[in-house]
Structure formats: C-alpha cells, structure tokens
Amino acid sequence: MGIDVNIRIAGGAGQGIHTAGNLVSRIAVSAGHHFHATQDYMSRIRGGRNSYTVRVADAPVRAGSERADILLALDPAHLPHLLPAVNPSGLAFSDLPPGDAPGGVLAVPLKEMAISAGSPILANVVGAGIVLRVLGVPVEAADRLLALDFRGDFLEKNRKAIRLGAEWAEGRVSGRYPLPEAAFHPRLIVSGNEALAMGAVAGGCKFAAGYPMTPGSGVLHGLSVDGPPLGLVFEQAEDEIAALNMAIGASYAGARAMVATSGGGFALMVEALSLAGMLETPVVVVLGMRPGPATGMPTRTGQEELAFAISAGHGEFPRLVLSPGSVEEAYALAHHAMESAEAHQVPCILLSDQYLADTVVDADPDDFPVLPVRRRIVRGPDVPRNGEGRYLRYALTDDGISPMAVPGEAGITVVADSDEHAEDGHITEDHASRIRTVEKRARKEAGLAAETLPPLLSGPPDGEAVLFGFGSTKGVIAEAREILARDGVRVAAVHLRQVWPFPSEQIDAIVSRYGTAFTVENNRNGQLARLIRAETGRRVAGTVARFDGLPFTPESLAGEVKERIWAERSTRR
Amino acid sequence: MGGTFDTAVENAWCPGCGNFPILSAVKKALESTGKARHEIVLVSGIGQAAKLPHHVDVNVFNGLHGRALPAALAIKMASPRLTVVVTSGDGDIYGEGGNHFIHAIRRNPDIALFVHDNQVYGLTKGQPSPTSDIGWTGSLQATGVISGPFPPLAVAIALGCGFVARSLAQDVELTAELMRQAIAHRGFALVDILQPCVTFNRKNTYQWYGKMAYRVPEDHDPSDRRKAFELSLSWDERIPVGVLYRKEGRPTFEEVHPGVGDPPLHARDTPGEAVLAMIRKRLLSP
Ligand SMILES: Cc1ncc(C[n+]2csc(CCOP(=O)(O)OP(=O)(O)O)c2C)c(N)n1
Ligand code: SF4
C-alpha cells in the first residue's frame, strides 16, 4: 500500500466523533481511496472515552491499526491515554489554550471556532475540516456530503465549521499526509451489522424479532429499516425467549425468520433453539459475540462463544454455524443462512462479534449481488398425502427432510410438537418410533456436511506454518500474513466461514501440509484449536490469543506470530 | 361426541380430569365458528392441559412450557386470517409464561386464550401453581403455600384486555359459549376455566368449584370496568363465572402493525429490484 493513513477521532459519547469519522471516511471514498473504520467505545451514553478510527489507503483495507498518524482529541483530558499510540511523525490536535498543549500536540480553538460557525456542538466538524486539509483535500469535497446529511440553516453552519477548520490548518499542517488524486469508483459504505441484515432481507427474511443487546441491536436496527419495504415484519419482543419463540412460530407459518442477539440473550434462547431442532423449523440466529461471561464487557469484542454456538441446546439435533469474516461475507452468509436453514429445515447460527458488527468499510457493489431466493414450501397439489389423505409434516425420508407445508393450506393440517412425535406430528412415547425419528433428523447432518462451505486458504500451499481463524479475524490475519511475508516469514492463513458442520477433511489435509499450525482467536481457551483437535485428531501448536476486549491488529499479530514460530522451532529441536 | 374435529390420538389424562369437558367445549366452540380445520391453529405450551390440541383435528403448534403466546402471536402476524387459539395450563401461562401473558394483552392480537386453571402443576405431579390458594399444600410445600395467588382476570382487566371471562370446566355449555364469544371478539380474549385436577388437587374439586361458583348477575354491565375489576377479585366467598369485562373497539395488533396483513408472510416474494434498491441506498456515487 502506498497510502496508509490512520486517523483517530476521539471524544466523549455525544461529542459527534461518529459524524466526523463518517465524513472523513466518505471524503476518502469520494477522492478515489478506500477506508476501514473501527469503533472503540465505552458502555455509556454520555461522556467516557470513545474513538472512531478511520484507516485510509489506496487499496481496500480490511483491518484497523493501533498506531494513529492523525489524532483529533475533542476532549484534551483523553490525551494521556491517546498520545502513546500516535506515530512519532504523526500529528495530534486538541482543544487547548495555546500555552497548555503538551509536547507534540497542536492546540486548536475547536470550540471557539464552532461557536463562530453557529453552534458549540460543531467542534467535531471543525476538526474534520482540519483533517481534510492535513489530507490535502479541498473543502468543497465535503460540501456535497454534508448536503446529504443536513438541510437549510444547519447545513450552512456545518459548511462554515468545515471551512474554519480548513482555514486554521492552511499553512500550519495542510497536505502533511497528502491523498493523491485517484479515479473515483462508486462504492458501497456498509457496516458488518448492516450487511448481516441486508443479506437476510435479500435472502427472503420476512419475520424478525429481538430484544436489544449490543452488538446484536445493530442487526435488529438494520432489519427494522431495510426489511419492511421488502415485506418483512419486525417486532421488538419482551425478551429473547419470546423473540426466538416468535421466530419459530412465524417459521411454522411459512415465513423465513431471524433473530439477533449477543451471548446473554443467546443463552436465554437456547431452549427455543432446541425447539427449532425438534420442530425442524428453519430459523436464523445472529449471535454477536462480546466478552463474557455474564454481561462481560458490553461494548467490546471477543470470540468466546464458538464452543457454545456449536453445542447450544439440549438434546441432539443438526445445525449450521457460519462465521463471516468481512462485510461482504456477512451479506453472503446471511443470505446463505436463510437458504440453507430452509433447505435443510434446521436452525442456523451466524457467529459475528462487536468488531465485525461495528466495522465500516467501502465495498465493491459487485460483492453485494442480488441472489435467487428458493422457497421450499409445498403447496396445493404438491402437498404429499398418505393413504388416508393426511399430510405428514415429519414424513420419514431418505435425506431426513420432509416436505414442508404451512397452516392454511386447504384440506390439510400441520401438526408440530416439541415432544417426540410420530410422522404426523402427534406425541408418541413409542420407543421404536423415537429411534426412527431421531435417525431421520440425524440424516440431515450428511446433507448439511455435503454442502459445507470450504475453508479459505491463502499463502503458500505448504511450508513452515499455517494460521487458522474464524469470523472477524479474517482481514487482520490476511494482513499479518502479508507483513510476515515481507519480513521473509512465509505462512499460510486459513479462514473458516463455516464452523459447523466442521470441515474436518479439509482442515485435516491442510494441517498435515505445514510444519506447525496456530489458531488466532479472541478468547483465552483456544476454542478453535480444541475444535480442530476434537474433529480431526490433529494437534495445533497453540493459540495466539487476545482477550482484552479489543480486536487484533495486523502489526502486533504479525509480531506475536513471529515469536511463536521461533519458540515452536526451538522446542522442536 | 363424534364431532368433525376428533382425532385418534391416544389420551393421557387421568380418568375424571377436568380437561375432558374442556376438550368437549373447545370442539363445540370451534365447530360453531363454521371454520374448516385448515383455517384454525391451536397453540399450546407444555403440561397436561397443553396436550389438548392433539385431540382436535386442526393445525397444531405445541411448543415450549410457558411460550405458547409468543409463538401464537407470530403465527397470527404471519397469517392474520388464521383463527389462532391458545389453550394451556395456569402454570404454563401465568407462571413460566407470565411475562408473555402481560405483553400479549398489551399488544392485543386477535387471539383467544383459554387457560385450564387447576391451581396446580399436574404434569410435574402436584406442585402449587401461581393461582394456588395460600395454605394449600403441594409436593414441594409441605407446610403450605405462603405467597398470594396471581389474579389473572384482574390483571387482564387492569391491562385493558377487551374480553375477560371465567368458566367452570364441568359446565360444558357455558364454557363453549364463552369460548365462542372469545373467538368472535376482535382482539385478545381471555377465558380462565376453573378445572378440577382429580389427582393432585384435593381442595379445588368439582364439588368445591360447584359450590363456590355463581353466574355473574344478569344486571352486571360488562363494560363497567370498575365493577368488573371488583368481581374479578372476588374469590374467597363466592366465585363469579361468565363474562366479567367486555369492551369492543380497541384496534387489534394486526390492524395497527404497519407490516402485518395480506398477503401472508409465506406468500410474499423478494423482488430483485427491491433488493437492489436496498443495496443502492448505501452507494456513494460521484
Ligand atoms: C422450561 C421448563 N420448565 C419446567 C418444565 C416442566 N413442566 C412441565 S409441565 C409443568 C407445569 C404444568 O402446569 P400447568 O401449566 O398448570 O398444566 P397442568 O399440567 O396442570 O395441566 C412443568 C413445570 C418444562 N417442561 N419446561
Ligand atoms: S394430573 Fe390432574 S390435571 Fe393432569 S390429567 Fe390428571 S387430573 Fe387432569
């Protein structure tokens, strides 16, 4: 990457860092560049210490960076915390009286300029004006974007604020991190949570329910905004238990259905997840992970629920568990989840996390295709009936999938029961029938496994080391691998988009081709490493773990991987 | 009986159980609607009472303990033309499902709820339910229940439920009639049915209910909410049965929910142009 500038805008909740970050991101795209934005926020509504980091580059970026080239600290009280991460050659700005600025910080009268633009709340926009000039971007570029968000008098004030910031920067710092002119390409601006909701809606989701819990709430928001124009019905449930029971009810009535939550909410849903397994109702659950146990760190990231997701629920039943690693994959896998859950009549879990949820990037519109929605409901003359003219919801079939009709279909009734049931759906305690029904449900495992999305391998096909990750670490591992390659350490990276059914054969074959293998996980226990061992019998050397609540970054991950490989080499000797 | 809604499913209730006359009443009431089997869904949770739908030949959703109402709500939202009836126990609806009971009434979907109120947990063998009287001894409360009983009708009236009635299991005619009215009522309708459990409840027997129950006086004006509330709290001396409260006109959940209606959710398609429009909203163009 020629251009790689990391801009951090920090302040308290309510100071508008999101608006400023958003503006800077879109300006980068308008100038023909690319960005990756990550958010770091505390669990509060006002105050606290939050930041919005925009990494701008001349190629698509898929990971954040800890180091900041440009820091805009709206609240100077945060400087001691923020300054250590600023590059030695970087620029830091804060709202301070000129004499009070610590070394390396430029004092800017942000508030004062905001007031002269018309409102003290525009300090963030003044700051954005400064960032623009640091990047050498003319303020006019911002005008059109501001006009998309604001109207009338307030638009004028915003324009004025941007200009005051830019004028201040003129001569002082303008063009210090110049963005060269580049050809503009239309790009989508999408977050992980938005992409999950869009994928579900594009996949024919018609019912969604949920009870807010970070980071699942963002998906619910997306569904409630994007869904209704496409016929989706959204309901805020009284709790997570109700939410999944509602989704299952809607699915019984023939609607593709989804819920979204986080670990604690998912824990409440588990009984109903098992109900979906028993009733064979397709349903999709977005599990946005955050550090636990219990309420954990509500606004931070973690990957502590892999083992929980693949085993949640009482009793044995087939399921699909997918783990998107990018916004593009979030869209594609949410669609796939809708299709697959219905095709196999199983629950499907989409494992996301706060990092992916709140990541915003510019994406190629071609990576958000309109894909076909294939409904599998049987209707009218296609509804199979037995000798007595009855429809059997749980008819025993070779692949375990029974033709699914919905209530309201003339001449038939649809009977679904959480107790063990016979083919007609009615309760039975007959042991032989129980065996037949258990085997029927289990037969779906083979069908699901046959459609497993293979893990994605990048890097050398064999060699010294391979890194495994699932979900949101995809982009970070990919970039860490490139950094290592530049340093002469050749490693391969494997991203698992599907973690259940586990792609055992492929993983087994991959592990055997490398001298050593590590997993990279945002948890302490190395849940993926354990899974690989359990499902393939192969040992991985260990886990590069991060569980402080923050995402990995490429540079630090590369450094740690290097050390681990050296340590592994020396113990092998 | 030989009604049109009979099934051949083996029955697991104790001989003499109050669930039997309730089952007869449900069939009568459903038959009186003139609806065909495929137009009706019976939803229940778990318990002895919750097995009732298996004995009625209509669509059945027998879900989890306490969770009948959320499932029923979503079925109604998905296909508003279906007649959705929930029939389950007092433990199911008022205990495990108490939260859903409150929120179902707040939403006011066009669903009729029939609660088999036997003041005991039958299926788990004799523990008190939320409606058990103080002092009643259950299998886990040898010295008697100490918490005050949950008053379902009073709670329903307080929350603005538009149809609140109580019936007596052994009075099949009355129960069927109240059920018929509940189904006909537009909005959420509750019929709490005093149901003897001949195995575990030696206090609230057929005789006891028969002695305690009396028909709501002829001159009771069911639209008088204050009076209805008063009646709903009467329990220790005599127990009124019949329609305690009725108020038409509150819009149903399906009417006010912007997305619910025709076509039903299973019949809605996903047009490519609409998907494209959703994606285009995020497009930053020059
Ligand atoms: C989550 C959960 N908790 C507990 C049970 C066990 N259980 C089954 S039925 C029941 C109580 C049933 O009481 P009620 O609803 O009054 O029905 P009855 O059997 O008296 O008709 C309980 C506690 C269960 N099935 N699921
Ligand atoms: S235990 Fe009680 S409620 Fe259950 S079937 Fe027997 S008599 Fe009826």
Q: Does residue B75 line the site of ligand 1, with CB under 6 A?
A: no
Contacts of A96 (CB under 8 A, 6+ apart): A76, A105, A107, A108
Joined tokens for residue B28: 């009568």
- State whether the beta carbon of B53 lies less than 6 angstroms from ligand 1: no
Interchain contact B116–A (C-beta under 8 A): no
What's the CA gap between A515 and A518, in Å, rounded? Answer: 11
C-beta atoms of A272 and B67 within 8 A: yes
Spatial CA neighbour of A337 closest among A272, A257, A232, A220: A257
For residues A558 and A483, give the distance between their C-alpha atoms in angstroms, rounded to a whole number.
7
Indicate yes or no: CB of B63 within 8 angstroms of CB of A275.
Answer: yes
Run of H or E including A322: strand A320-322
* Percent of chain A residues topping a pLDDT of 70: 100
CB contact under 8 Å between A230 and B265, yes or no, is no
**Minimum-distance CB partner of B75 among A189, A243, A253:** A253
B198 close to ligand 1 (CB < 6 Angstrom)? no
- State the nearest Cα–Cα gap between B253 and chain A, in angstroms: 11
Residue B17 near ligand 2, beta carbon < 6 Å: yes
Measure CA of the first residue to CA of the last residue in chain B; give whole Å: 74
Q: How far is the CA of B126 from the centre of ligand 2 (A)?
A: 9
B282–A194 CB contact, under 8 Å: yes
How sure is the predictor about B286, in pLDDT bands with cuts at 50, 70 and 90? low
Q: What percent of chain A has pLDDT over 90?
A: 94
Q: For B61-79, what is each residue's pLDDT tens digit? A: 999 999 999 999 999 999 9
Q: What is the 3-state secondary structure (H, E, C) of A526-565?
A: CHHHHHHHHHHCCCCCEEEECCCCCCCCHHHHHHHHHHHH
- Indicate whether A17 pLDDT > 70: yes
pLDDT at residue A15 tops 60 = yes
pLDDT of residue B1: 39
Per-residue pLDDT tens digits for A295-352: 999 999 999 999 999 999 999 999 999 999 999 999 999 999 999 999 999 999 999 9
User: What is the best residue among B65, B113, B131, B198 to mutate for testing ligand 1's pocket, by most ligand atoms within 8 Å of CB?
Assistant: B65
Tell me what the pLDDT averaged over chain B comes to. 96
- B4 pLDDT tier (thresholds 50, 70, 90): confident
Name the nearest CA neighbour of A170 among A143, A213, A135, A201: A135
Residue A477 near residue A485, CB atoms below 8 Å:
no
Nearest-atom number in ligand 1 for the CA of B89 is 15
Residue with tokens 């389950």: B88
Residue B33 CB–ligand 1 contact under 6 Å:
no
Residue whose Cα lies nearest atom 16 of ligand 1: it is B91
From B119, B199, B202, B203, mutation site for ligand 2 pocket: most ligand atoms within 8 A of C-beta? B199
A281 Cα–ligand 1 center, Å:
23
| Phi and psi based region of residue A503 (left: phi greater than 0; alpha: psi -120 to 50; beta: remaining) | beta
What is the rounded distance in angstroms from the CA atom of residue A430 to the CA atom of residue A427?
9
The predicted pLDDT at position B139 comes to: 86
| CB B120 near ligand 1, within 6 Å | yes
Q: Which of residues 363-392 of A touch B (CB under 8 A)?
A: 365, 368, 370, 373, 377
Question: Residues B29-71: pLDDT tens digits?
Answer: 999 999 999 999 999 999 999 999 999 999 999 999 999 999 9
The helix (run of H) or strand (run of E) holding residue A342 is helix A327-344
Confidence of residue A413 (pLDDT cuts 50, 70, 90): very high
Rounded distance between C-alpha atoms, residue A340 and residue A449, angstroms? 11
How far is it, in rounded angstroms, from Cα A221 to Cα B44?
Answer: 31
Cβ-defined contact of B266 to A202 (cutoff 8 Å):
no
| Average pLDDT of chain A, as a whole number | 96
What distance in Å separates the CA atoms of residue B228 and residue B153, rounded to the nearest whole number? 9
Query: Tell me, what's the ipTM?
Result: 0.98
Eight-class DSSP state of B94: I
- Percentage of residues in chain B with pLDDT exceeding 70? 99
What CA–CA distance (Å, rounded) separates A162 from A140?
A: 9
pLDDT in tens, B123-149: 999 999 999 999 999 888 999 999 999
Give the closest-approach CA distance of B74 to chain A in angstroms: 5
- Per the document, the length of chain B is 286
pLDDT band at B3 (very low <50, low <70, confident <90, very high): low
CA A544, A546, A549 angle in degrees (round to 5)?
Answer: 165
Is B244 in contact with B216 (CB distance < 8 Å)?
yes
Tell me if A233 and B77 make a contact (CB, 8 A cut-off).
yes
- Is A373 in contact with B64 (Cβ distance < 8 A)? no
What is the C-alpha to C-alpha distance for residues A212 and A218, in angstroms, rounded to an integer? Answer: 9
| Nearest-CB residue to B74 (from A190, A247, A418) | A247
B37 CB neighbours in chain A (<8 A) are 413
Could you tell me which of A499, A501, A546, A491 has the C-alpha nearest to residue A520? A546
Q: Does B115 contact chain A (CB < 8 Å)?
A: no
Report the separation in Å between the CA atom of A418 and the middle of ligand 1, taken as the mean of its atom positions. Answer: 13
Residue-level pLDDT at B2: 41
| Nearest residue by C-alpha to atom 8 in ligand 2 | B17
Q: Please give the model's pTM, rounded to 2 decimal places.
A: 0.97
Report yes or no: A425 at the B interface, CB cutoff 8 Å: yes
Written as six digits, the tokens of A240 are 């997570």
Is there an atom of ligand 1 within 6 Å of B124 CB? yes
Query: Going along A255-302, which residue ranges are E strands?
Result: 257-262, 283-289
In this prediction, residue A103 has a pLDDT band, given cuts at 50, 70 and 90, of confident
In the three-class reduction of DSSP (H, G, I as helix; E, B as strand; rest coil), residue B259 is classed as: coil
A418–B46 C-beta distance less than 8 A: yes
A168 touches A101 (CB < 8 A):
no
Inter-chain CB pairs, A–B, below 8 Å: 203
Residue A397 pLDDT? 98
Chain A residues with CB inside 8 Å of B38's CB? Answer: 407-413
CA of B223, closest CA in chain A: separation in Å?
A: 29
Say if the Cβ atoms of A242 and B103 lie within 8 Å: yes
Q: Does B60 touch chain A (CB under 8 A)?
A: yes
User: Can you give the C-alpha Rg of chain B in angstroms?
Assistant: 20
Yes or no, beta carbons of B64 and A427 under 8 Å apart: no
State mean pLDDT over A478-503.
Answer: 97
Question: Lowest mean pLDDT: which of A140-154, A495-509, B84-98?
Answer: A140-154
Residue whose CA lies nearest to ligand 2 atom number 5: B13
